[in-house]
Chain A
Amino acid sequence: MSPRAAWRLESLGFGEVYDYTVGKLDWMAAGLPTEGTNAGLPRAGDLARKDTPTCSLDEQLGAVRDRVHALGWDAVVVVNVERIVFGLLRAKELAFDCDRPIAQAMRPGPSTFRPYVLAKEMAHSMVEHKLESSPITTSDGRLVGLLLQKDVVAAAESRQ
């Protein structure tokens, strides 16, 4: 849509026209401020738990489980050194045999969501798809945090 607008403005006599082709999505993905009725509403990135435990592909499940449970969690995100998300282990996967490599135990390629998604939309999606937790990542796949369904539902309900 914006390329057509840019070309049309030029044809109307505007001499210096620029097209921000990646648009509002790029702006919001970068976490930059916006204006409007939705601007102050809570979003996935605000609510994601930044202290979520992480582990690497080459760890053993038993050691990871002990560490995660000691921290009071029942989920862990599998990442590399760049915090790129490879997988997710929730309670079910953490209960597997302790010698199993993380790469074989994890749910590979979990659905991730961007930080700018509104809490009310996230709550709807997570309840509908029965997701207890969802990794929130930047557009290049880096972990921001783990969003818990209970957190996002509470935030969405408090706004109603």
Chain B
Amino acid sequence: MPKEIDRHGLRRMVEAGAQLVEVLPAEEYLEEHLPGAISLPLRRLDMEATSVLDKTRPVIVYCWDVA
């Protein structure tokens, strides 16, 4: 089950090597994203996740907000 994380935990985990993934459309990523994040829009997740991400490392996903 995925766990929720706050921004303090996010920073700690990214420093420790976690992969940070923005799942919003690519245009929104290009405009603004969190430092070090990669773009993997939700609609491309099925096709690209296993080739883009490392299954042996933690993954943190985010979008705009809870909505």
Contacts and interface: CB of A to CB of B under 8 A. Distances in A.
Contacts of B53: 9, 14
A12 B65 CA distance: 24
Interface residues of B, number: 42
Contacts of B24: 1, 24
Given A2-B23, A19-B2, A38-B32, A8 B45 contact: yes
A66 to B, nearest CB: 44
A111 interface: no
The A interface, classified by DSSP as helix, strand, loop or mixed, is mixed
A12 B49 contact: yes
A39 interface: yes
Interface string A11-34: 011111111111111111010111
Given A12-B49, A19-B61, 13 more contacts: A5-B61, A9-B59, A14-B59, A18-B10, A20-B5, A20-B60, A20-B61, A21-B66, A23-B66, A25-B64, A32-B34, A36-B31, A39-B32
Interface of A: 1-10, 12-28, 30, 32-39
